[in-house]
Amino acid sequence: MKVLILGASGATGKLVVSQLIKREINIRIVIRKNAILSDNILNNKLVEIVYGNIAELNPIENKNLIEGCDAVVCCLGHNITFKGLFGKPRLLVYTSIKNVCEAIIHYSPKKMKIILMNTVAVANENKDVNENRSLSEKIVLSILGVLLPPQKDNVSAANYLLRVIGKDNEKIGWTAVRPDSLIDDDEVKPYEVFETIKRSPLFNPGKTSRINVGHFMAELITNDELWQKWKNKMPVIYNK
Protein backbone atom coordinates (compact mmCIF):
# COMPACT_ATOMS: atom_id res chain seq x y z
CA MET A 1 0.00 0.00 0.00
CA LYS A 2 1.18 3.55 -0.72
CA VAL A 3 -0.29 6.82 0.53
CA LEU A 4 0.19 10.26 -1.02
CA ILE A 5 0.25 13.04 1.56
CA LEU A 6 -0.35 16.68 0.65
CA GLY A 7 0.69 19.22 3.29
CA ALA A 8 3.12 16.72 4.84
CA SER A 9 5.30 19.57 6.15
CA GLY A 10 2.39 21.06 8.12
CA ALA A 11 1.79 20.62 11.84
CA THR A 12 -0.82 17.91 11.28
CA GLY A 13 0.57 16.51 8.02
CA LYS A 14 3.85 15.56 9.78
CA LEU A 15 1.89 13.61 12.38
CA VAL A 16 -0.04 11.73 9.69
CA VAL A 17 3.32 10.79 8.13
CA SER A 18 4.61 9.56 11.52
CA GLN A 19 1.45 7.56 12.18
CA LEU A 20 1.75 5.86 8.78
CA ILE A 21 5.48 5.19 9.27
CA LYS A 22 4.57 3.48 12.58
CA ARG A 23 2.24 1.22 10.57
CA GLU A 24 5.08 0.57 8.07
CA ILE A 25 3.15 2.04 5.17
CA ASN A 26 4.90 3.48 2.12
CA ILE A 27 4.35 7.18 1.71
CA ARG A 28 4.85 9.74 -1.05
CA ILE A 29 4.96 13.36 0.05
CA VAL A 30 4.95 16.49 -2.08
CA ILE A 31 6.59 19.43 -0.36
CA ARG A 32 7.90 22.87 -1.24
CA LYS A 33 11.68 23.38 -1.43
CA ASN A 34 11.85 25.33 1.85
CA ALA A 35 9.60 22.97 3.81
CA ILE A 36 10.98 21.89 7.17
CA LEU A 37 10.77 18.20 8.10
CA SER A 38 12.58 16.03 10.64
CA ASP A 39 15.42 13.71 9.56
CA ASN A 40 13.26 10.82 10.70
CA ILE A 41 10.87 11.65 7.85
CA LEU A 42 13.39 12.96 5.29
CA ASN A 43 15.69 9.94 5.57
CA ASN A 44 13.04 7.28 6.10
CA LYS A 45 13.10 4.44 3.61
CA LEU A 46 9.29 4.34 3.59
CA VAL A 47 9.08 7.99 2.46
CA GLU A 48 9.43 9.14 -1.15
CA ILE A 49 9.81 12.90 -1.54
CA VAL A 50 8.58 14.91 -4.52
CA TYR A 51 9.57 18.58 -4.52
CA GLY A 52 7.06 21.04 -5.96
CA ASN A 53 4.11 23.24 -5.21
CA ILE A 54 0.99 21.10 -5.18
CA ALA A 55 -1.25 24.00 -6.23
CA GLU A 56 0.81 24.60 -9.37
CA LEU A 57 1.22 21.07 -10.75
CA ASN A 58 -0.08 20.33 -14.26
CA PRO A 59 -2.31 17.31 -15.06
CA ILE A 60 0.65 15.06 -16.00
CA GLU A 61 2.47 15.96 -12.78
CA ASN A 62 -0.70 15.13 -10.83
CA LYS A 63 -0.98 11.85 -12.72
CA ASN A 64 2.61 10.99 -11.71
CA LEU A 65 1.85 11.95 -8.13
CA ILE A 66 -1.03 9.51 -7.70
CA GLU A 67 0.60 6.69 -9.67
CA GLY A 68 0.89 3.53 -7.56
CA CYS A 69 -0.98 5.07 -4.62
CA ASP A 70 -4.04 3.68 -2.86
CA ALA A 71 -4.99 6.71 -0.80
CA VAL A 72 -4.43 10.45 -0.59
CA VAL A 73 -4.41 12.48 2.62
CA CYS A 74 -4.70 16.26 2.31
CA CYS A 75 -3.60 18.31 5.33
CA LEU A 76 -2.97 21.50 3.36
CA GLY A 77 -3.85 24.79 4.99
CA HIS A 78 -3.09 28.46 4.54
CA ASN A 79 -0.08 29.76 6.44
CA ILE A 80 -1.19 32.17 9.18
CA THR A 81 0.47 35.25 7.65
CA PHE A 82 -1.17 38.10 5.71
CA LYS A 83 0.16 36.60 2.46
CA GLY A 84 -0.95 33.08 3.46
CA LEU A 85 -4.45 34.22 4.39
CA PHE A 86 -5.15 36.76 1.62
CA GLY A 87 -2.55 36.09 -1.10
CA LYS A 88 -2.64 33.52 -3.88
CA PRO A 89 -3.48 30.71 -4.19
CA ARG A 90 -6.74 31.63 -2.47
CA LEU A 91 -8.23 28.20 -3.15
CA LEU A 92 -5.13 26.16 -2.27
CA VAL A 93 -6.99 23.20 -0.75
CA TYR A 94 -9.86 23.15 -3.26
CA THR A 95 -7.57 23.44 -6.30
CA SER A 96 -5.17 20.77 -5.05
CA ILE A 97 -7.88 18.27 -4.11
CA LYS A 98 -9.76 18.87 -7.37
CA ASN A 99 -6.61 18.38 -9.48
CA VAL A 100 -5.73 15.17 -7.63
CA CYS A 101 -9.30 13.85 -7.95
CA GLU A 102 -9.30 14.57 -11.69
CA ALA A 103 -6.00 12.70 -12.04
CA ILE A 104 -7.49 9.72 -10.18
CA ILE A 105 -10.65 9.75 -12.27
CA HIS A 106 -8.72 9.90 -15.56
CA TYR A 107 -5.71 7.74 -14.81
CA SER A 108 -6.05 5.53 -11.73
CA PRO A 109 -6.74 1.88 -12.57
CA LYS A 110 -8.16 1.33 -9.07
CA LYS A 111 -10.50 3.02 -6.62
CA MET A 112 -8.69 5.30 -4.19
CA LYS A 113 -9.44 6.84 -0.80
CA ILE A 114 -9.24 10.60 -0.31
CA ILE A 115 -9.01 11.88 3.25
CA LEU A 116 -9.36 15.64 3.54
CA MET A 117 -8.52 17.67 6.62
CA ASN A 118 -11.44 20.03 6.94
CA THR A 119 -12.93 21.89 9.92
CA VAL A 120 -16.04 22.12 12.11
CA ALA A 121 -16.42 25.64 10.69
CA VAL A 122 -17.64 23.95 7.52
CA ALA A 123 -21.24 22.78 7.66
CA ASN A 124 -22.07 19.27 6.55
CA GLU A 125 -24.46 19.97 3.69
CA ASN A 126 -25.29 16.32 3.25
CA LYS A 127 -29.10 16.17 3.24
CA ASP A 128 -29.13 13.03 5.46
CA VAL A 129 -27.45 14.95 8.30
CA ASN A 130 -28.94 17.67 10.50
CA GLU A 131 -26.15 19.77 11.98
CA ASN A 132 -28.40 21.84 14.15
CA ARG A 133 -26.46 25.13 14.00
CA SER A 134 -27.92 28.31 15.42
CA LEU A 135 -28.97 31.07 13.04
CA SER A 136 -26.34 33.45 14.49
CA GLU A 137 -23.61 30.88 13.86
CA LYS A 138 -24.79 30.30 10.30
CA ILE A 139 -24.73 34.06 9.66
CA VAL A 140 -21.22 34.54 11.09
CA LEU A 141 -19.85 31.54 9.17
CA SER A 142 -21.31 32.73 5.89
CA ILE A 143 -19.80 36.21 6.43
CA LEU A 144 -16.42 34.57 7.18
CA GLY A 145 -16.83 32.56 3.97
CA VAL A 146 -16.96 35.82 2.05
CA LEU A 147 -14.29 37.75 3.96
CA LEU A 148 -11.78 35.03 4.84
CA PRO A 149 -10.30 33.13 1.88
CA PRO A 150 -9.22 30.04 3.93
CA GLN A 151 -12.83 29.55 5.12
CA LYS A 152 -14.11 29.77 1.55
CA ASP A 153 -11.35 27.35 0.52
CA ASN A 154 -12.32 24.78 3.17
CA VAL A 155 -16.03 25.07 2.26
CA SER A 156 -15.23 24.68 -1.46
CA ALA A 157 -13.01 21.63 -0.90
CA ALA A 158 -15.62 19.82 1.24
CA ASN A 159 -18.44 20.67 -1.15
CA TYR A 160 -16.38 19.46 -4.10
CA LEU A 161 -16.13 16.02 -2.48
CA LEU A 162 -19.76 16.00 -1.36
CA ARG A 163 -21.36 17.35 -4.53
CA VAL A 164 -18.98 16.71 -7.43
CA ILE A 165 -17.33 13.44 -6.42
CA GLY A 166 -20.46 12.32 -4.57
CA LYS A 167 -21.22 9.02 -2.88
CA ASP A 168 -21.26 6.65 -5.82
CA ASN A 169 -18.02 7.55 -7.54
CA GLU A 170 -16.37 4.53 -9.18
CA LYS A 171 -12.85 5.81 -8.59
CA ILE A 172 -13.01 7.73 -5.32
CA GLY A 173 -14.28 7.15 -1.80
CA TRP A 174 -13.67 10.12 0.51
CA THR A 175 -13.84 11.39 4.07
CA ALA A 176 -13.68 15.03 5.19
CA VAL A 177 -12.35 14.92 8.76
CA ARG A 178 -13.52 17.92 10.79
CA PRO A 179 -11.48 18.78 13.90
CA ASP A 180 -12.45 21.64 16.25
CA SER A 181 -9.75 24.05 17.60
CA LEU A 182 -6.43 22.32 16.97
CA ILE A 183 -3.95 21.85 19.80
CA ASP A 184 -0.61 20.06 20.02
CA ASP A 185 -0.01 17.02 22.19
CA ASP A 186 2.84 14.50 22.36
CA GLU A 187 0.77 11.37 22.31
CA VAL A 188 -2.50 9.96 21.06
CA LYS A 189 -5.15 10.23 23.77
CA PRO A 190 -8.82 9.18 23.79
CA TYR A 191 -10.96 10.92 21.24
CA GLU A 192 -14.53 10.75 19.99
CA VAL A 193 -15.87 10.89 16.45
CA PHE A 194 -19.38 12.01 15.57
CA GLU A 195 -21.42 12.50 12.43
CA THR A 196 -22.26 16.12 13.35
CA ILE A 197 -20.93 18.90 15.58
CA LYS A 198 -21.69 18.51 19.29
CA ARG A 199 -20.88 22.11 20.26
CA SER A 200 -20.72 25.48 18.57
CA PRO A 201 -17.30 26.03 16.96
CA LEU A 202 -17.81 29.79 17.39
CA PHE A 203 -19.51 30.20 20.76
CA ASN A 204 -18.45 27.04 22.64
CA PRO A 205 -15.50 25.50 20.80
CA GLY A 206 -14.00 22.14 21.67
CA LYS A 207 -10.43 20.90 21.29
CA THR A 208 -8.84 18.38 18.99
CA SER A 209 -5.17 17.37 19.17
CA ARG A 210 -3.40 17.24 15.85
CA ILE A 211 -1.90 13.88 16.82
CA ASN A 212 -5.41 12.49 17.33
CA VAL A 213 -6.34 13.72 13.84
CA GLY A 214 -3.22 11.99 12.50
CA HIS A 215 -4.15 8.77 14.31
CA PHE A 216 -7.76 8.84 13.04
CA MET A 217 -6.62 9.48 9.45
CA ALA A 218 -4.09 6.63 9.60
CA GLU A 219 -6.79 4.33 10.99
CA LEU A 220 -9.15 5.33 8.16
CA ILE A 221 -6.48 4.09 5.77
CA THR A 222 -5.67 0.82 7.51
CA ASN A 223 -8.88 -0.20 9.31
CA ASP A 224 -11.51 -1.24 6.80
CA GLU A 225 -14.36 -1.37 9.34
CA LEU A 226 -13.65 2.24 10.33
CA TRP A 227 -13.41 3.27 6.67
CA GLN A 228 -16.77 1.66 5.88
CA LYS A 229 -18.30 3.60 8.78
CA TRP A 230 -17.00 7.02 7.71
CA LYS A 231 -16.57 6.87 3.93
CA ASN A 232 -18.32 9.67 2.05
CA LYS A 233 -19.05 11.43 5.35
CA MET A 234 -17.72 14.44 7.24
CA PRO A 235 -16.87 13.11 10.71
CA VAL A 236 -16.26 15.55 13.55
CA ILE A 237 -13.41 14.66 15.93
CA TYR A 238 -13.03 15.97 19.50
CA ASN A 239 -10.62 15.07 22.28
CA LYS A 240 -12.51 13.12 24.94
Ligand X SMILES: NC(=O)c1ccc[n+]([C@@H]2O[C@H](COP(=O)([O-])OP(=O)(O)OC[C@H]3O[C@@H](n4cnc5c(N)ncnc54)[C@H](OP(=O)(O)O)[C@@H]3O)[C@@H](O)[C@H]2O)c1
Residues forming contacts to ligand X in the complex (CB under 6 A) are 7, 9-13, 32, 35, 53-55, 75-79, 84, 89, 92-93, 117, 119, 150, 154, 179, 181-182, 210
Task: Report d(CA 192, CA 212) in Å as an integer.
Answer: 10
**Closest C-alpha among 25, 11, 40 to residue 182:** 11
Residue 194 — φ and ψ, nearest 5°? -130, 160
CB-wise, 71 or 92, nearer to ligand X?
92
- Chain centre distance of CA 45: 24
CB-wise, 59 or 86, nearer to ligand X?
86
Name the residue whose CB lies closest to ligand X: 10
Minimum gap (Å) between residue 20 Cβ and ligand X: 15
Minimum gap (Å) between residue 237 Cβ and ligand X: 10
CB-wise, 83 or 110, nearer to ligand X?
83
DSSP label of 219 = H
In sequence order, the β-bridge partners of residue 209 are 183
Minimum gap (Å) between residue 119 Cβ and ligand X: 3
CB-wise, 89 or 226, nearer to ligand X?
89
User: What is the enclosing helix (H) or strand (E) of 62?
Assistant: helix 59-66
CB-wise, 171 or 195, nearer to ligand X?
195
Cα Rg of the chain, angstroms: 17
Minimum gap (Å) between residue 110 Cβ and ligand X: 27
Minimum gap (Å) between residue 93 Cβ and ligand X: 6
Tell me the C-alpha to C-alpha distance, in Å, between residue 11 and each of 8, 101, 105, 194: 8, 24, 29, 23
